[in-house]
């Protein structure tokens, strides 16, 4: 299981599409709606992904998850709606996922391009990226995150060397 986190415009979805296409991972893309019980939603995503891997032997990649609830909740509400540290520890204990934080120096420029295609609820992706990095630096949300920089890392090399993925036979 791979869990991708990071601000909009950092290459999470691009990396998820690449991994799901080349390495045959089942992608899950987490969304947000203020009407949802986001903790239940995140738990369902986690355990559905875990069961898919355990029982069907299908590897899974989750595009945005619990750390996003913390970061975006802190930026736009009074904080996360649930105990993010607890659910991340639950994920580590149950499934030992590989966490990837996606960042890049051009996050704001990339975000501006995305805003032309969709409605966004905020204006500064650089601040969001800083918040992700600050939260990860605390060590409270998992001790090991791999850093993927869309503009600096070669996707193929990153997947094969850092994530230890091997391309499926074609």
d(CA 51, CA 66): 18
74 pLDDT more than 90: no
Instruction: Judge whether 11 and 19 are in contact, CB under 8 Å.
Output: no
CA contacts within 13 A on the Cβ side of 125: 21
pLDDT (tens digit, 9 = 90+) per residue, 11-64? 999 999 999 999 999 999 998 888 999 999 999 999 999 999 999 999 999 999
pLDDT for residue 109: 82
Confidence label for 126 from pLDDT (cuts 50, 70 and 90): confident
pTM (2 d.p.): 0.91
pLDDT at 111: 78
Topology, domain 2-162: Rossmann fold (3.40.50)
- Contact present, 75 and 128 (Cβ < 8 Å): yes
pLDDT at 67: 95
pLDDT in the model for residue 121: 62
Q: Which residues have C-beta within 8 Å of that of residue 160, sequence separation ≥ 6?
A: 166, 167
At residue 170, does pLDDT exceed 50? no
């Amino acid at each position: 299981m791979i869990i991708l986190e990071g601000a909009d415009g950092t290459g999470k979805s691009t990396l998820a599409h690449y991994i799901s296409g080349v390495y045959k991972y089942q992608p899950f893309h987490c969304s947000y709606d203020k009407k949802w019980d986001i903790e239940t939603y995140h738990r369902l995503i986690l355990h559905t992904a875990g069961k898919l891997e355990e029982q069907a032997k299908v590897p899974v990649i989750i595009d945005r998850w619990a750390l996003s609830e913390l970061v975006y909740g802190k930026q736009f509400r009074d904080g996360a709606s649930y105990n993010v540290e607890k659910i991340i520890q639950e994920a580590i204990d149950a499934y030992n996922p590989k966490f990837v934080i996606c960042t890049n120096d051009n996050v704001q420029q990339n975000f501006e391009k995305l805003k032309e295609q969709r409605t966004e609820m905020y204006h500064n992706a650089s601040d969001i990226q800083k918040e992700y990095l600050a939260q990860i630096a605390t060590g409270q949300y998992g001790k090991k995150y791999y850093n993927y920089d869309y503009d600096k890392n070669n996707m193929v090399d990153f997947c094969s060397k850092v994530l230890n993925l091997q391309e499926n036979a074609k």
